A and B are shown apart, each in its own frame.
Chain A
């Protein structure tokens, strides 16, 4: 029941509990072998009627298997663009992305995505929405139903499994989207500001839901956010980005023990980390303002 990670014999119930993330103490020597995602000299230029806009410049970083990495930055810094590049949904202008040591130019089939909006199909029930990726990949739905139900139970949506999206609250919809991203046992999770359309109370609730899900299904995750608290609470590493053109200005390790609880947000260490991140983001922001002559994305 435990070694459900191999690609050939994936087990669906009970949900596989991933092994704990490898020891952090052995550093760079191991990093190369463990890197699941490696980004080299990535750049993205959009052409617009008023001329070319450089969204990203010379991005370099790597993400290890099992790491939860946040991309934190002011709005308009290109962090969502970077995520779309990683997900293979847009093409880079420069540089390359390796996933599992293969250069990717198209969507990596084993990733789950959650967008800012839940993006549920209004004609599908909660359960059928969770099963949507299975249907779209042409896999047999019957094999995944139990897993879908188990996922819904973990986020507290068992009661809602036959309801339509319009009968759910915003937070419930986003929880359905999280389950949908996890249904086909993805290797990587891409989360594009998944909670930013929710109200403050629901956001905190969702952070806890994500923390709990994370402890059960430890995957590699890339989480885009402009919330310093969310980044600090959820991540193993925070990559701070500057704006226009977006580039990575800091790579901060977050070593609160897992499983984590929302309670750490009131600790002094947590707040010190938030202050540090805030300082970095503010600097990036004001630099960008000066650079862009006060035009703020």
Chain B
């Protein structure tokens, strides 16, 4: 059985509850144990090889900085996460609106769709400095760039999700002579929701990247700024502490979307409840 299944597809044969429990705890404990092992190896190697902390600080030193520089990190986490949330929210709104507009208007979709794809193919990072020229060095410039970088997945998910609706269901609604807005809210959007969440998860990760790149280019605060500033001063430990915080912030946003997805899917009956 196991030899025909892919990794992750293996299913315990019936009657082996112990094996099932093992598989479950492996999924939780596996990544944690691997991470712990890597951190130990890192700590150990840095210490016995006497690597200078400016090159590669040991995890213990990063942890020390995390605790020691707690107020500084929190202040920067605050700025970054606020901008990230705003960028993510606006990306979703813009992506959903644009997706709806193109799904409903053949004219708009003919005119805009190929151009949006082209825009997506251009490496967007290259455009980041222009946002400083257009919007200045404050929040709006970073948020603008993050939106520009991250709206696309939500847009494409909305656009294709709204078009994936079962055609018989659409016919059914037409036979009721239901107004289109009601079809949108009662049929198309619920059908598109699983797609929409897929898009929102990718948008969440891109919004984090967008804000950090923005902070690299022009900022007087935020985790991106802190990383750049500390690296320039060879304070690699501070840099890494900031990177750790960034990871936590990004994971929190992604996790929030994933939890929302799970709850909505369960509520809508797309998942076994």
Q: Which residues of A contact B (CB under 8 A)?
A: 84, 87-89, 106-107, 109, 111, 113, 115, 117, 119, 121-124, 132-133, 135-138, 164-166
Q: Is the CB of B176 within 8 A of A89?
A: no
**Which residues does chain A contribute within 8 Å of B269, judged by CB atoms?**
122-124, 164-166
Write the residues of chain B forming the contact surface with A, with a CB cutoff of 8 angstroms: 166, 168-169, 171-179, 182-183, 186-187, 190, 267-270, 272
With the chains together, A87 CA to B168 CA distance in Å?
13
Q: Are A133 and B176 in contact (CB under 8 A)?
A: yes
Q: Is the CB of B168 within 8 A of A117?
A: yes
Return B215 CB to nearest CB of chain A, in Å.
40
A122 touches B169 (CB 8 A): no
Quote the shortest CB–CB distance from B134 to chain A (angstroms). Answer: 43
Q: State in angstroms the CA–CA spacing of A87 and B177 once bound together.
A: 11
| Given A87-B175, A166-B269: A136 in contact with B183 (beta carbons within 8 A) | yes
**Complex contacts, A109 vs chain B, CB 8 Å:** 176-177
Q: How far is the CB of B83 from chain A (nearest CB, A)?
A: 34
Partner of B172, one of A106, A113, A122, A165: A113
Find chain B residues with CB under 8 A from A107 CB: 174-177
Chain B residue with minimal CB distance to A137? B176
User: In the bound complex, what is the Cα–Cα distance between A293 and B190 (angstroms)?
Assistant: 46
Closest partner residue, chain A, to B273 (CB atom): A164
Knowing that A133-B172, A138-B179 touch, tell me 9 more A-B residue pairs with CB under 8 angstroms: A88-B175, A109-B176, A109-B177, A113-B175, A115-B171, A117-B168, A119-B169, A132-B186, A135-B186
Given contacts A138-B182, A166-B269, contact A121 B175 (CB under 8 A): no
Q: Is the CB of B168 within 8 A of A119?
A: yes
Are B270 and A123 touching (Cβ within 8 A)? yes
Bound together, the chains give a CA A231 to CA B223 distance in angstroms of 72
Number of A-B contacts (CB under 8 A): 60
* Residue in B172, B177, B268, B272 with the greatest tally of chain A CB atoms within 10 Å: B172
Contact A89 B175 (CB under 8 A): yes
Q: Please, which residues of chain A bring their CB within 8 A of the CB of B171?
A: 84, 87, 89, 113, 115
Cross-chain contact A115 with B270 (CB below 8 angstroms): no
Q: Please, could you name 10 A-B residue pairs with CB atoms under 8 Å apart, sorted by A?
A: A84-B171, A87-B175, A113-B172, A113-B175, A119-B168, A121-B187, A122-B268, A123-B269, A137-B178, A138-B182
Residue of B with least CB distance to A111: B175
A136 touches B186 (CB 8 A): yes
Given A121-B187, A122-B268, A106 and B177 touching (CB < 8 A)?
Answer: yes
Q: Which residue of B lies closest to A133 (CB)?
A: B176
B172 touches A119 (CB 8 A): yes
- Give bound CA distance, A135 to B185, whole Å: 11
Instruction: Report B45 CB to chain A, min CB distance, Å.
Output: 52
Q: How far is the CA of A165 from the CA of B173 in the complex (A)?
A: 18
A contact residues around B190 at 8 Å (CB): 121, 123
List chain B residues, Cβ under 8 A from A165.
269
**Is B182's CB under 8 angstroms from A136's CB?**
yes
A122 to B268, CA, bound (A): 7
CB distance from A275 to the nearest CB of B (A): 34
- Chain A residues with CB below 8 A from B178, complex form: 136-138
Give every chain A residue within 8 A of B176 (Cβ-Cβ).
107, 109, 133, 136-137
Query: How many angstroms from the CA of A133 to the CA of B182 in the assembled complex?
Result: 11
- Chain A residue, CB-CB nearest to B182: A136
C-alpha gap A166/B178 in the complex (Å) = 26
Query: Please, how many angstroms separate the alpha-carbon atoms of A281 and B262 in the complex?
Result: 51
What is the bound-complex CA distance between A121 and B190, given in angstroms?
9
Rounded to whole angstroms, the CA-CA distance of A138 and B178 in the bound complex is 8
Report the minimum CB–CB distance from B184 to chain A (whole Å): 12
In Å, the complex CA distance between A117 and B173 comes to 15
A166 and B272 CA atoms in complex are apart in Å by 9
Least CB distance, B60 to chain A, in whole angstroms: 50
A81 CB, nearest partner CB in chain B, Å? 13
- In the complex, chain A residues whose CB is within 8 Å of the CB of B187: 121
In the bound assembly, the distance between CA atoms of A164 and B176 in angstroms comes to 23
Q: In this complex, what residue of B is CB-closest to A134?
A: B176
A132 to B183, CA, bound (A): 11
By beta carbon, the residue of chain B nearest A122 is B269
A115 to B170, CA, bound (A): 12
Residue of B166, B175, B268 near A123 (CB, 8 A) is: B268
Nearest-neighbour CB distance to chain B for A112, whole angstroms, equals 8
How many Å lie between the Cα of A123 and that of B267 in the bound state? 7
User: Which residues of B are found within 8 Å of A88, using beta-carbon distances?
Assistant: 175
Q: Cβ of B182: which chain A residues have Cβ within 8 Å of it?
A: 135-136, 138
